[in-house]
Structure 1
């Protein structure tokens, strides 16, 4: 009888029996099922199984976390079920049948924007602060400023100005902050095209070049297009090729044109790499991939995006002037957030400006402001649900602040779209609030101030009215986020139970093996762990893979190596050398279990670029060469080389980082200690 035969039988029954299993495989910590019907899985029963540490659904796979014993558990499961396992790639292929178009689209967006999050979050906070400086109205002081005399009109009414109009210092700060703000958001297409090529494993520098061609200063800025006449564009912003012309239009902050162009570039490069001889591929693959993509981006992809934007502008303008404006307010409130994803929300600025010019105020801007508030509320709800998750808090807290200051991209791309259900909750809350706002006739005198400070842009007679839709935009998304999460509705990652965790789809082996020799180690004993690499030591929370960054497999550090030589961090036994050579498990003589994982997703390289010099069971001394790896090759294949060094048996040893991070390290420097509990 197998060690886990009883639990394996319980799991098989709980997932709906053999007939409900389309495919099964496992990684180093998880059983990965592709179920014919996920609804047949009894999650409460699964959670109650003694060996189960949690479960989640991701990328069409129903994954049950077992931990270090997953290989033995898998063998017992196969024996009692009679189900033969498949490769991970086969399981992934089967899992795709469980994903609908929206899930695939959201997953793609998440993969593309995750590497951009640090910049987007910083940019969101900067632009949110600039919104306050440029939008908040204060009373201006007169010449007798030292006496606190306020400026007044000839009629004796106080003069109101923005902070930047009153204060030279804050005007300078505001102007300076536009430098990083413009770099992050106006030039966002550069980051997107780079990220697409990174995801697709193609040449990343070509993606960067493509992005630059979309935002070049030679082009008419996207924000200026609506204010430029067709005649001026034809005269000053057109390439004339004799028998045809092409408009010089930029795509600053545009997402869809950048993504479409990035994918076109990636697929063209893949195609030409297969059909052009390797001897001349360095010349012709970039040439035949990049130039056609640039032409298509400006001749086809971009113009189509603008046509879509013009169509949306027409619909919005018609809706705002119809007898069913209140209904339009609800629909627009729901759809505004998806517009932000596409970058088409910029078209609303022209409509707002025209409404203010014609009527002295706009009833569209309040709807946009309510959408900002709703997205921030949903992120805040996610923070409350997952506040023990330190890594997520680093994203959700500033994203909430950013959204409540009027910039929602960090909230949407960092949290809400990743989980999906908070994004839907925010859309619904925004729709209800927008309907109420339009029904009550709330209008704004100006545009620019978003989020909670947005009330300062509302007409004086409507400010008190606006408090109600603001409250709706705050409360409804929070309540719906809690409800959707509990009920599993729109829940992309489907967190279940206290033991469930959020894990990205990774093929990495994450565990060291069980069975450390701890019997002779006294409580309080401290073991020094030296750096196995030369490079830069960083906090584990900075790892791009949440399995590591959230400390799910243990505590430790991330090292960005500058040399491709991995050495033993202490004397001990090699507990695991993974077949793909990208990860090694070690057990010190005192029983500390350590996992060293070279790069992220490098399991996909199947050992290429790696060479090992030890085998499982070998005893090693501190500083002994374990493996070598080709840093340039790994990078050129589109993988990051950040290397987690993790103490995996944290129930027995407390890992403590030494020194401030980040800092440079040499092989052999002490970077951590592990203390016996």
Structure 2
């Protein structure tokens, strides 16, 4: 059995089985599923798996965050689910326009990101070795390495044409040939008489033209496949598609796409030039938030477009050293905490952080301690501002973490750029370390309160209802993780109003960023999770409002969360709300005391024995 075979099978089972999988991609740290029905997936079971960091619903995808061994897990999932990594994606579920756009960008860019980075790092290595005097820029080894590094950028339309065609369910080799046609040397940057006009265009090292041309070619292919007899359509269809799409693309679509790409690039650079440091602070501060919602690929897309066009990109450069400020924070937490479980999580998190994989740090350490996450965003903003101050920009694509630094080396001044990068790396790490070392504290008050529970073991504690509504047993909830008691014993309420109050005196243990769930700890040691609705995490906080924050002391009856009940139901979500005692094993029994079909907020609901 392969190292990740068991994990892959468990993931497939808990995303609803292989029949629920429409398509699967992976990025640097995530499996990106397109599922027929996301409600069949067991979020909480997946999150609790060894080898899974967390689960995200974003960009129309069901994202399982794995970490830096995602390629191996991806291969095992493909093998176990009989998914071919070379087959075109099946027709997906209905998505919003925003989700479709993000899904399209992801599908086009992700398959080639690793190779873009590899070629970029080769160019960076070549510049450094030449700068150090190991060989000159006229030597054969320099020219060969430079050719390897430049190849994917020069012939980018071929790579993107293939990826685009595959993503939109078109013959991918037809997309490849469209890209190759656009790169043909003798028709680039020359005056050509076409259809009564002179055309002079260049499509090597471009991104947008081939995407739009392949998009035009798709309906042509569909039409010709439908009307041309089967015996000849295998070669007649691609011939006709190329005959129409390439000349049309070369003369009309391509120039328009180049103009549009130039406008976007000029706009981004104009905003950057207005106040580079402010732009760096803004992007650096938001970078981890973009990662959480899985939309950071948009910045990568813009960066690749600029670099392919020979324009140094400042925007993605702002994010480079956020990794090191986050790693510094987690390193400080690892040194300072006395919590053995937290130490075990923090050690691999700060080690992987040096190599650019910060999801374990974000999801495992910072987000559950929201103050630390906010501080990490502030540190990221400082790192982004310093990057702008030193004028560091992306000149090539490169790896992540320490392997990202070659991307910021100016080919004209690689030595000076390297010194600046090392300064920003050190300062970012130290700032993150100092902030966390000063501000981080173990939850000593909570630990003390938990130990007090042992004194009341033979007594009982009563949990009041946090909502007014209709009672349901957990096995009526349409989510296996809740229904089978895996998350703890308790009861569910279908609410009559959009209000959640505190069921006891205690402390807010966790407030989820999406505001749909809250974890509470009573003064007697009971741990309770209130999860408002099923799959409402996908609303990303829409229609919810929190009235307390993590760490707040609360009294019975305090208002915790309000939500727009009608709007959530209108969006198609169930509002069945499990109220779970998550430390069930600490009690002899969990008894639901109100057997009526309805209950008012504040009335006794559960007795702990």
TM-score, normalisation: structure 1: 0.38
TM-score when scaled to structure 2?
A: 0.42
